[in-house]
Amino acid sequence: MKYNIELYLKFITVIICFSLISCDFTSPLQNCKDANVYADRGEYKKAINELNKAINKKKKNRRALFNRALFKTHINDTEGATEDYKNILSFTNCTLCTFELANISFNQKKYHEAIDFLNSALQTKGVVKNDDIFIPNNQLYSDDNDSDYNVKEQEIYFTRGFSCLKNRQFVNAIRDLKKTNEFNFYKHQGYYYIAQAYLGLKDSLNACENYKKSKELGYIEDKEMLNKYCNKK
């Protein structure tokens, strides 16, 4: 009888030890920090695995979901990234998530879809006006603050302007890019893209004027275009 009791106690001890080993007592926050360490090394799959653990422990974990989406884009899993961004938007506002969805659509050459996302982003609370204080997003922050997901107004307008240019919405492109030039945001590129939009409207005079402004700021990608439209006798 004594032998059976000892055997039973040993069995229970083994079960308890196994349970303690198999259980993950790491906090979701620590999982996120560990994920950042892997990401800094370029080990995105391991980083994603850590974030999976964090999300399993806390489903509506905005920081973990956002970082996982970000890391998924590094391994070309745009479908997974899109799903994570939309998951966040299902339970909270996130201007940066909407902006990143626009970037994904743009990179897939779905320019109309990108424009729709950017229109939506401009209607959110996380748009930082030109004269407002902007705190850049940093994935290494331990806290999850609403301000981490803000986006500069001019950055949204610039991206929308470029998307409109690609989508052959030339008038809209000029409108947005002129606005960003007023903010001195990538002004050198802004003039270049405005010139291209004017070419789309067959307005070589304004195209030339903006090509020249782009060149004055040290940015001109296509010297042949400059010579073609600005060096006529």
Give CA–CA dist 152/130, Å, rounded. Answer: 7
Residue 22's pLDDT is 46
- pLDDT value at 223 more than 80: no
Residue 112 has pLDDT above 80, yes or no: yes
Question: pTM for this structure?
Answer: 0.84
Lowest mean pLDDT among 29-33, 85-89, 191-195: 29-33
- pLDDT tens for each residue of 145-183: 889 999 999 999 999 999 999 999 999 999 999 999 999
pLDDT tens column, 178-222: 999 999 999 999 999 999 999 999 999 999 999 999 989 988 666
Three-state SS string over the chain comes to CHHHHHHHHHHHHHHHHHHHHHCCCCCHHHHHHHHHHHHHCCCHHHHHHHHHHHHHHCCCCHHHHHHHHHHHHHCCCHHHHHHHHHHHHCCCCCHHHHHHHHHHHHHCCCHHHHHHHHHHHHCCCCEECCCCCCCCCCCCCCCCCHHHHCEEHHHHHHHHHHHHHHCCCHHHHHHHHHHHHHCCCCHHHHHHHHHHHHHHCCCHHHHHHHHHHHHHCCCCCCHHHHHHHHCCC
Among 11-15, 98-102, 116-120, 126-130, which is the least confidently predicted range? 11-15
All structural domains of the chain = 26-81 (1.25.40)
Q: What is the mean pLDDT of the chain?
A: 87
Percent above pLDDT 90 for the chain: 71
In sequence order, what are the residues at sequence separation of 6 or more whose Cβ sits closer than 8 angstroms to the Cβ of residue 125?
A: 93, 95
What is the band of 23 on the pLDDT scale with cuts at 50, 70, 90? low
pLDDT for residue 115: 99
